[in-house]
Chain A
Amino acid sequence: MAEIRLQGVTKIFDRRVRAVDNVDLTIADQEFVVLLGPSGCGKTTLLRMVAGLEYPESGRIEIGGRDVTDLPPRKRDIAMVFQSYAVFPHLTVFDNIAFGLKMKKTPKAEIKRRVEEAAALVELSPFLERYPAQLSGGQRQRVAVARAIVMQPAVLLMDEPLSNLDALLRLNFRAELKRLVRELKTTTIYVTHDQVEALSLGDRIAVMREGRIVQVGTPTEVYDRPATEFVGGFIGNPPMNFLRGHLEREDGRAWVAIGEQRIPAPESLATKDGEVLVGIRAENIEALSEPAPDSIQTRVDVVEPLGSHLLVTASLGDQRVKVLARSDAPIQPDDQLWLRPEPGKLRWFDRETGEALGTRG
C-alpha cells in the first residue's frame, strides 16, 4: 500500500516566488497520476518535493501513511526517472541498473537476478556490458526506467521521461511505458507538459497553473468538462473554442447571443452581468453548407487538410472558431458555413474569472 497524500504543500523560491502554492492532492495506491501544465507551473517542483530533492516551506507529504516531509530521498522508498535520464556515464548498463540495490547492500545473486529481470522488461538484455555513451538516446532512457523499476519502490516518479526522444520513439515508448506501469502496479506520479501524453497515460490528470492545481480528474473529465477556460485551452489539439457571448431571456427561454446570432442556453445558466464565454471543442461542431436550426452562420478563413479530417478556421464577426470536418467535405475559403454545436457539449465559463459556470440538467 502506497497512497500519497499531499496537504497544503507550498514551496517558495527566493522568498517571494510561490512555485507551489498550497497544494492538496491524494493519490490512491497503484494509481497513475499525471501532473500536467505549462513550463513554470510548479509541476516539477511538486514532484521533486515528493522525491525529497526539495523541501516544502509548509505542508505535509505522506507516502503509505508515513510522514516523509522531512526525510531525505533515500528514506522515502521512491525511485525516479529524470528528464535528462541522469544515467551514470562511468558505469555500465548493468551497474547503472544495479546502483540502487548496491547502495542498499542487496546480496550479489539477488542483484544479478533482479537487474536481469528489469533489463528484460525494457529489452536491454543484450546491452548490459555497454557504457551509456555506446547507447542511443532511446536505450539510455530505458536504462533510466530499468534503474527505477528494479528498486520495486513504493512510488515511481517520472519527470518528463519522454521529452528528449524524437516523435516516433516517443509514441512507441508511451505505449510501452503504459503497459509496464500497469503490470508493475506501482503508484506513479508523472510530470509532463504534453497534454496528449497526459491524456493517454494517466488514470487521473492534475492540471497545474501558477503553482496551484486547477483541476483533477480522469482524462475524459478533464477533456470534456474543463474546470476553467485555461484547462480547456491547454488540453486538446486544437484547443477548445471560446466565444464571447451575452446571456438573454426571451419567450421564456435562455439564449446566448454571439454577435448578431444566438444559440439556445440552459435555463439554469446564471451569470453576474450576462457576460459569458461559450466553450466548444472542434470535433463537437457540425459544419453545414446550408442554414439549419440552432446553427450560427460563419465565413471560412482557412482549410487545412489533416489526412483524417479537415481543420477549418471560420470567422464569426471578429471571433474565430476551429471546426473539424470530414476530409471529403467540399469546403473552400470564403464559403458560408453554418455551425451547429452538438447539444450537451457546450460549456459555459465566467468571462472574468474563466471558471466553469454551474448548470443544472
Chain B
Amino acid sequence: MTARRLGWAPYALLLPSLAFLALFFAVPMVRAFGLAFQDADGNWSLESWRTMFSDTEFREALVTTLLLIVIIIPVQFAIALAMALVVNARLKGAGFWLYIYAIPLGISELAAGIIWFAIFTQQGWLNSILEGLGILDRPFIFLNYQNRGWLIFTVVMAEAWRATSIIMIILVAGLQGIPRDYLEAADVFGATFFQKVRRVILPMLRPSVQVALILRTILAFQAFAVVLALTGRGMTVLASEAYRWYSDYRNPHVAAAYAGFILLLSVLSTLLFLWLLPTREEQFR
C-alpha cells in the first residue's frame, strides 16, 4: 500500500503515543534542564553545575556508579548468555526454566533491595545459614559501612539477581532469530561448543547484544533503590545524589543538574556501544 493512499491515517495512529511522549517525557526533560541551568531566583546560571561538581559526594558517587557498571554488566552478560543458551537448547523443561528465570523481572527495584537486605543483614538468612552449618561462630557483618568491598559485592549480587533476566530475554529472542542451519553448519565444520559460541552465536547475536547493553547500562545509571535499601547512606551513586539534593537539601536545581548529568552519561554510553558494535547492513539479510 502506498503512502499516498494511506493519507493521514498513519499520523493519526501515531498521535496518541507522540502526545504521551511529549507530555510525560519531553516536557519534563526540558523543564528539568531548565531547572538545572537556573539559580534559586530563576536567573540563568551555571551555579547548580558548579555546586554539583564541587560537592564532596560527587566524586564518590560517580566512581561507585561506574564501578558498579563495570562489574555488573560483564557478570550479568556471562550469566544471561549461559541462561539464554540453556533455554534455547530446547531441552525438556526449558520452558519451565524460562519462567523461573523471569520471576525477578516482576519484582520492583526497592523490593529486590529489601529481599537482599534480609539475606545479608546481621541477623539475616545468610548469617543464620552459615552459623547453622557451623561455618561461622558469630554473624559476619556484610553490610559494614567501613568495608566498601563487601557493600559493592552485596549490591552486585542484588542487581545481578534482579536485572539479569531482562538481558536473558533479549538474548533468547536474538538466539531464536538465528536459523538452526547456521549452528548445524558450525557443528558439521568442526566447531566445539565454545568455538560455536564465539565464532557464530555471538557475532550473529550482535544486534541483540547491542540493545541489551544499551538498555542495561542506562538502567544501571539510574539504579539507586537497591543501593539505598542495602547500604543506606553507606554507599552513594549518582541517582542517590539527585534524590538527596531534592528531598534532603530541597534544592531542585542541583538535583536537576545530577539528573542531566546522568542523562548525558547515558547518551554517551549509548553512542559508545553503537560505535563499538556497529551492525553493518550488508552483513545481514
A residues lining the B interface (CB < 8 Å): 51-53, 72-74, 78-80, 82, 84, 86, 88-91, 99-100, 102-104, 131-134, 147, 151
Do residues B188 and A79 form an inter-chain contact, with CB atoms below 8 A?
yes
Q: Closest CB of chain A to B254's CB: distance in Å?
A: 47
Contacts of B51 in A (CB 8 A): none
Contacts of B199 in A (CB 8 A): 99, 102-103
Contacts of A100 in B (CB 8 A): 189-190
Nearest chain A residue, comparing its CB with the CB of B181? A86
Please list 5 pairs of residues, one from A and one from B, whose beta carbons are closer than 8 Å in the complex, sorted by A's number. A89-B284, A99-B189, A100-B189, A131-B280, A147-B189
The reply to whether the CB of B10 lies closer than 8 angstroms to some CB of chain A is: no
Do residues B184 and A72 form an inter-chain contact, with CB atoms below 8 A?
no
Q: Closest CB of chain B to A189's CB: distance in Å?
A: 13
The reply to whether the CB of B204 lies closer than 8 angstroms to some CB of chain A is: yes
Do residues B187 and A72 form an inter-chain contact, with CB atoms below 8 A?
yes
The reply to whether the CB of B283 lies closer than 8 angstroms to some CB of chain A is: yes
Q: Closest CB of chain B to A11's CB: distance in Å?
A: 16
Do residues B188 and A88 form an inter-chain contact, with CB atoms below 8 A?
no
Nearest chain B residue, comparing its CB with the CB of A77? B190
Do residues B195 and A89 form an inter-chain contact, with CB atoms below 8 A?
no
Residue in contact with B285 in the complex, picked from A72, A74, A78, A89, CB distance below 8 Å: A89
Do residues B190 and A131 form an inter-chain contact, with CB atoms below 8 A?
no
Q: Closest CB of chain A to B282's CB: distance in Å?
A: 5
Nearest 5 A/B pairs, CB to CB: A100-B189, A86-B181, A103-B190, A86-B185, A74-B190
The reply to whether the CB of B139 lies closer than 8 angstroms to some CB of chain A is: no
Known: A89-B204, A90-B203, A103-B190. A80 touches B185 (CB 8 A): yes
Known: A82-B184, A86-B181, A89-B204. A151 touches B189 (CB 8 A): yes
Known: A88-B200, A90-B203. A53 touches B187 (CB 8 A): yes
Give bound CA distance, A356 to B203, whole Å: 55
Contacts of B203 in A (CB 8 A): 88, 90-91
Give bound CA distance, A90 to B285, whole Å: 10
Contacts of B204 in A (CB 8 A): 88-90
Do residues A89 and B189 form an inter-chain contact, with CB atoms below 8 A?
no
Give bound CA distance, A67 to B165, whole Å: 43
Q: Closest CB of chain B to A31's CB: distance in Å?
A: 21
Contacts of B184 in A (CB 8 A): 53, 73, 82, 86
Do residues A84 and B179 form an inter-chain contact, with CB atoms below 8 A?
yes
Q: Closest CB of chain A to B209's CB: distance in Å?
A: 12
Residue in contact with B283 in the complex, picked from A72, A89, A151, CB distance below 8 Å: A89
Give bound CA distance, A131 to B203, whole Å: 14
Contacts of A90 in B (CB 8 A): 203-204, 206, 283-284
Do residues B192 and A82 form an inter-chain contact, with CB atoms below 8 A?
no
Q: Closest CB of chain B to A305's CB: distance in Å?
A: 42
The reply to whether the CB of B44 lies closer than 8 angstroms to some CB of chain A is: no
Contacts of A52 in B (CB 8 A): 187-188
Contacts of B188 in A (CB 8 A): 51-53, 73-74, 78-80
Give bound CA distance, A274 to B191, whole Å: 60
Q: Closest CB of chain B to A265's CB: distance in Å?
A: 52
Given contacts A73-B188, A84-B179, A88-B203, 4 further A-B contacts (CB under 8 A): A52-B187, A74-B190, A89-B204, A100-B189
Give bound CA distance, A180 to B187, whole Å: 24
Do residues B190 and A104 form an inter-chain contact, with CB atoms below 8 A?
yes
The reply to whether the CB of B145 lies closer than 8 angstroms to some CB of chain A is: no
- Point out which of B195, B199, B203 has the most chain A C-beta atoms below 10 A from its C-beta: B199
The residues in B between 237 and 285 inclusive whose CB is less than 8 angstroms from any CB of A are 280-285
Give bound CA distance, A102 to B196, whole Å: 12
Contacts of B187 in A (CB 8 A): 52-53, 72-74
Contacts of B185 in A (CB 8 A): 80, 82, 86, 88
Contacts of A84 in B (CB 8 A): 179, 181
Known: A82-B181, A86-B181, A86-B184. A74 touches B283 (CB 8 A): no
